[in-house]
Amino acid sequence: EETERLKSSLEDREKRAEQIVEKNDRERQRSLETAHYERERRLRETQHRRRELDSMLENYRKDLQEAREITQQKARERAFLRLNEELQRKVHERRQKEQHIKENAKQIHERQEEWRRTAETIQKQKEEHVQKLLEERELKIQESRNLALAANRLREEMLRVYNLDSFDKKAQRVALINELGLENTS
């Protein structure tokens, strides 16, 4: 009976020991599984955070690229506006210069026309003056011819009438002709 009791006690101890071992095995297995699941969870979280970071980084790159493109576009627009303003300023300056040149050309043309008209007037006055002088000279020449012709006729008439032959008579005749000629021109 003692042997049975010892045997039963040993069997109980063995069972308890087996139960403890099994319990320890189960706990160790649970612990391993828990650690495995925890590692997988952490890995998944890490991968998730990595994906989030990658997505954030990609979005940041996209935003940065968009901002760069917007900045470049605005810079191009500003450059275009500056170029357009410069072109408009040059066109305005060129039009003003052309207008100034036209006005100067018009003034020069008006002055040239005025000078031409003045020169024509002066030339016409000169020609009229010369023509008047020529006419007056021609008139005087004609009057001198008429006077000479009249004097010659008078001399011939006096020679015929008075038959003047001597020197004294000739001198008297010249004096008489001169006197008559002066009276005729007065």
Model confidence pLDDT, tens digit, residues 73-121:
999 999 999 999 999 999 999 999 999 999 999 999 999 999 999 999 9
CB 152 within 8 A of CB 114: no
pLDDT tier at 69 (50, 70, 90 boundaries)? very high
Determine the Cα–Cα distance for residues 174 and 145; give it in Å rounded to an integer: 18
pLDDT tens digit sequence for 15-57: 888 888 888 888 888 888 888 998 999 999 999 999 999 999 9
Determine the Cα–Cα distance for residues 48 and 55; give it in Å rounded to an integer: 10
pTM, 2 dp: 0.38
